[in-house]
Structure 1
Amino acid sequence: MTRVDPDALGKLLANRRVAVVTGTNGKTTSTHLLTAAMRAGTPDGQFTVVTNADGANLHHGIASALGEAPRSTIACLETDERVVPDVIRLGHPEVLVMLNFSRDQMDRNFELKSLGRAWRLALEAAGQDGPVIVANANDPLVVWSAQPAQRVIWIDTGAGWTQDAALCPACGAALARKDGQIVGGGSWTCTGCELTQPPADYRVDGETVVEKDGTTWQLQLNVPGRFNRANAACALAAARVMGVEPAVALRGMASVSAPAGRFAVGTFGDVKARLLLAKNPAGWAESLALATSDPVVLAIDAIAADGRDVSWLWDVDFEQLRGRTVVCTGPRAHDLAVRLTYGDVEHTIEHDLMTAISSVKNPANSVKNQGTVDLVSTYTPFQKLRKLGGLA
Structure 2
Amino acid sequence: MGNKIHFIDRIRLALAVSIAKSITFLVRSLRLGAASVLPGSLARRIEPRILQLLSQQVKNGIIIIAGTNGKTTTSLLLRSILERRGYSIAHNSTGANLENGLATALIESTNILGALNVDYAILEVDENIVPKVLKPLQPRIILCLNLFRDQLDRYGEVDTISKRWTKVISTLPETTVVIPNADDPTLSHLGQQLDQRVLFFGLNEPEHYLEAIPHAVDSIYCPRCGASLNYQGVYLSHLGDFTCPSCSFSKSKPTLESREWGQILVGLYNKYNTLAAATAAKELGVDEITIRDTIDNFQAAFGRAEELSVDGKRVRILLSKNPVGTNETIRVVTQSNDKTTLLVLNDRTPDGTDVSWIWDVDTEKLVERGGTLVVSGDRVYDMALRLRYSEKTAESKVNLIVEEDLRQAIATALEHTPANETLHILPTYSAMLEVREVLTGRKIL
Instruction: Tell me the TM-score range normalised by the shorter chain.
Output: 0.7 to 0.9
Change (3 A) 1:49 1:107: same
Q: Which has the higher contact order (CA 8 A, sep 6+)?
A: 1
| Residue 246 of structure 1: aligned partner | 288
What is the deviation of 1:179? Answer: 6.3
Instruction: State whether structure 2 residue 370 is matched by structure 1 residue 328.
Output: no
Residues of 2 paired with 1:310 and 1:290: CA distance? 22
What is the deviation of 1:263? Answer: 2.1
Structure number with larger C-alpha Rg: 2
What is the deviation of 1:248? Answer: 1.2
| Residue 306 of structure 2: aligned partner | 264
Q: Which amino acid aligns with 2:315?
A: A
- TM-score normalised per structure 1: 0.88
Instruction: Decide which of 200, 203, 206 is 1:154's aligned counterpart.
Output: 200
What is the deviation of 1:185? Answer: 7.5
Change (3 A) 1:361 1:220: closer
Once the two structures are superposed, the pairs formed by residues 224-303 of structure 1 within 5 Å of their partners are 224-266=266-308, 272-291=314-333, 292=336, 293-303=338-348
- The range that moved more, 3-12 or 267-276, is 267-276
| Residue 88 of structure 1: aligned partner | 134
What is the deviation of 1:238? Answer: 0.2
Instruction: Decide which of 85, 105, 108 is 1:68's aligned counterpart.
Output: 108
What is the deviation of 1:226? Answer: 1.7
- The range that moved more, 246-255 or 326-335, is 246-255
Change (3 A) 1:352 1:243: same
Q: Which amino acid aligns with 1:156?
A: G
Q: Which amino acid aligns with 1:348?
A: I
Residues of 2 paired with 1:179 and 1:287: CA distance? 20
Q: What SS does the corresponding residue of 1:287 show, helix, strand or coil?
A: helix
Residues of 1 paired with 2:44 and 2:307: CA distance? 36
What is the deviation of 1:264? Answer: 2.3
Residues of 2 paired with 1:26 and 1:149: CA distance? 26
| Residue 339 of structure 1: aligned partner | 386
Instruction: Decide which of 358, 361, 364 is 1:313's aligned counterpart.
Output: 358
What is the deviation of 1:312? Answer: 1.2
Residues of 1 paired with 2:297 and 2:123: CA distance? 19
Instruction: Decide which of 433, 437, 440 is 1:383's aligned counterpart.
Output: 433
Task: Report Cα offsets for 1:303-353 as digits up to 9, x if no partner.
Answer: 111111111111111111221210111011111111111101631211111
Instruction: Decide which of 89, 110, 114 is 2:160's aligned counterpart.
Output: 114
Residues of 2 paired with 1:185 and 1:5: CA distance? 41
Task: Report Cα offsets for 1:267-316 as digits up to 9, x if no partner.
Answer: 56676522110111110111112224222111111111111111111111
What is the deviation of 1:385? Answer: 1.1
- The range that moved more, 69-78 or 267-276, is 267-276
Q: What SS does the corresponding residue of 2:101 show, helix, strand or coil?
A: helix
Change (3 A) 1:185 1:32: closer
Q: What SS does the corresponding residue of 2:302 show, helix, strand or coil?
A: helix
Change (3 A) 1:149 1:350: farther
| Residue 215 of structure 1: aligned partner | none
Q: What SS does the corresponding residue of 1:231 show, helix, strand or coil?
A: helix
What is the deviation of 1:133? Answer: 1.5
Change (3 A) 1:28 1:175: same
Change (3 A) 1:369 1:287: farther
Q: Does the CA contact (< 8 Å) of 1:127 and 1:149 recur in 2?
A: no
Instruction: Decide which of 145, 157, 168 is 1:99's aligned counterpart.
Output: 145
Residues of 1 paired with 2:297 and 2:148: CA distance? 29
Residues of 2 paired with 1:184 and 1:63: CA distance? 34
What is the deviation of 1:262? Answer: 2.0
Q: Does the CA contact (< 8 Å) of 2:343 and 2:427 recur in 1?
A: yes
What is the deviation of 1:250? Answer: 2.3
Residues of 1 paired with 2:94 and 2:62: CA distance? 18
Instruction: State whether structure 2 residue 445 is matched by structure 1 residue 354.
Output: no
Residues of 2 paired with 1:32 and 1:357: CA distance? 28
Change (3 A) 1:313 1:261: closer
Q: Which amino acid aligns with 2:128?
A: R
What is the deviation of 1:369? Answer: 7.0
Q: Does the CA contact (< 8 Å) of 1:294 and 1:369 recur in 2?
A: no
What is the deviation of 1:387? Answer: 1.4
Q: Which amino acid aligns with 2:280?
A: A
Count of matched residue positions in the alignment of Structure 1 and Structure 2: 370
Q: Does the CA contact (< 8 Å) of 1:268 and 1:354 recur in 2?
A: no
Report the RMSD for the aligned CA atoms in angstroms. Answer: 2.3
Q: What SS does the corresponding residue of 1:248 show, helix, strand or coil?
A: helix
What is the deviation of 1:33? Answer: 0.6
What is the deviation of 1:368? Answer: 4.2
Unaligned runs of 5+ in 1: 210-218
Residues of 2 paired with 1:112 and 1:361: CA distance? 38
Residues of 1 paired with 2:145 and 2:107: CA distance? 26
Q: What SS does the corresponding residue of 2:75 show, helix, strand or coil?
A: helix
Instruction: State whether structure 2 residue 96 is matched by structure 1 residue 56.
Output: yes
Q: What SS does the corresponding residue of 2:257 show, helix, strand or coil?
A: strand
Instruction: Decide which of 251, 267, 282 is 1:197's aligned counterpart.
Output: 251
Residues of 2 paired with 1:245 and 1:265: CA distance? 29
What is the deviation of 1:184? Answer: 7.5
Instruction: Decide which of 218, 221, 238 is 1:164's aligned counterpart.
Output: 218
